[in-house]
Amino acid sequence: MTDAAARPLKVLVYSDDVNTRQQVILALGRRPHPDLPELHYVEVATEPVVIQNMDAGGIDLAILDGEAVPAGGMGIAKQLKDEIYDCPPVLVLTGRVQDAWLATWSRAEAAVPHPIDPVRLAEAVVALLRPRVPASR
């Protein structure tokens, strides 16, 4: 098990819908897996604030709502991957399971469809964050 006292991981959660942001945060909780440190959430409702936070650095994972308007998470994911050197992993929330191919186009490392399944979301998030936590062995 890794050191529980490790610095919290910063997770940016973007959606224009406050309910979607809250669903993501409630689904993951403070610690989705005992091997990970606590998560600290940065809630964002607009594309410019996503870009500002990502440019500032320190984000360990970005969860972007592909159904957000006017700027969807897939387009933002593609922009982040094109513009930020060593961009942190991105998970896109898709409108349907069939939209996973669009997440591939956006270069997101993972996609989870709406409605949000807490188990599926947690599994995807843990898989993306685990490599970012130094092992303590």
Q: What are the tens digits of pLDDT across the range 13-53?
A: 999 999 999 999 999 999 999 989 999 999 999 999 999 99
As for how many domains the chain has, the answer is: 1
pLDDT band per the 50, 70, 90 thresholds, residue 5: low
pTM of the model: 0.93
Report yes or no on 100 lying in a domain: yes
Structural domain includes residue 132: no
The enclosing domain of 78 has a CATH number of 3.40.50.2300
With respect to residue 76, please indicate whether it lies within any of the assigned structural domains: yes
**Residue 111 lies in domain:** 9-127
Domain annotation covers residue 4: no
Per residue in 70-116, pLDDT (tens digit) is 999 999 999 999 999 999 999 999 988 878 788 888 999 999 999 99
The Cα 7–Cα 23 span in angstroms is 24
76, 67 contact by CB (below 8 A): no
